[in-house]
Amino acid sequence: MNRRSLFANFMSDKPVEGNPSFKPHPASKGAKRFTNALLRTHEDKEVRFYDDLIKGRQAIINMMYANCEGACPLITSTLVKVHKHYKERMGKDLFMYSITLKPEQDDPAALKKFATMHGAVNLPGWTFLTGDAFDIKTIRFKLFRINHVNFDLDLDFHASKLRIVNDATNVYTHANPYTSMFTILQHISWADPPKPYDEQLKENIEIQKRIDREVKVYGYRKTT
C-alpha cells in the first residue's frame, strides 16, 4: 500500500504546497535565487517574494521609485501597454511586479499614488512592492546586477531594465523597455510555457504559408 501510494504520488501532477496551482520547475533554485523577503504591496498586504509572487509563475519585474522623473514614468506607461496586450493572461499565469528602488521613501500609500497617476492601479496581476531596504537591495542585485560594481550601484541603471522570469519553466531573460513594443512582447514570449505539439505544428504551417506568399510577391522573405 505504501509502495503503491509512493508510486502514485511520484507519477501524479500533485500541486505543491502553498501555491496549489503554481508548480516550480524541478531545476528552479527557488528562494535561493530570488530571496523570500517579506515585502508590502501597494494595497498594504504582506507577501513573500518567492513563495507568493514568483513560485511557479511567469512574471515581468521592473524597478522604479515614486518621485522618479526620468525613466520610471516612461517604463510604467510601456508596461500599461504590455498589460493591455496580455489582459487575458494577466493575474492568471502572467504577473507584473514593480519594486521600489527607494523603500525609505516609498511606503504602500506612495506606491498606490504612483500607480493611480499612471493608470496602473487595480489592474489584475500587477503589484507594486516595497519592503526593508536590506531586502530590496538584495532583490535588486539578484535580479538586475551586471557584475560591474559602479553600474550596479547606480539606481537609475537598474530602473531601465525589465526582468522576465518563468519559474515553472526555469526561464530567466530580460528586455530593454526602450525598444519597440514588438521586441518587448517577443522577449516576454520567450519565457512563455511551451505550447502543445499540435498547436505548434499549426502555427508553423501558418508561418510557412506566409513566407511562401512573401517570396512569391516580393521575391524575399519578410517574416522574421
CA 5 to each of CA 11, 12, 42: distance values in angstroms, whole numbers, following the listed order: 10, 10, 44
Q: Which window, 41-49, 64-72, 146-154, 179-187, contacts other proteins (CB under 8 A)?
A: 146-154
Question: Which one of residues 148, 195, 202, 213 is an interface residue with other proteins (CB under 8 A)?
Answer: 148
Q: Which window, 136-144, 172-180, 187-195, 203-211, contacts other proteins (CB under 8 A)?
A: 136-144
CA 156 to each of CA 39, 64, 71: distance values in angstroms, whole numbers, following the listed order: 21, 8, 8
Q: Which window, 86-94, 141-149, 156-164, 166-174, contacts other proteins (CB under 8 A)?
A: 141-149
The interface mask with other proteins, positions 35-64, x = CB under 8 A, is x-----------------------------
Cα–Cα distance measured from residue 30 to residue 24, given in angstroms and rounded to the nearest whole number? 8
How many residues sit in the footprint of other proteins (CB under 8 A)?
14
| Residue the block writes with cell 508553423 | 204
Question: Which one of residues 29, 92, 145, 195 is an interface residue with other proteins (CB under 8 A)?
Answer: 145
Check binding of 138 to other proteins (CB under 8 A). Answer: yes
H-helix segments, 68-195: 71-85, 108-117, 133-144, 149-152, 155-159, 181-189
The site for other proteins (CB under 8 A) is made up of 32, 35, 134-135, 137-138, 141, 145, 147-150, 152-153
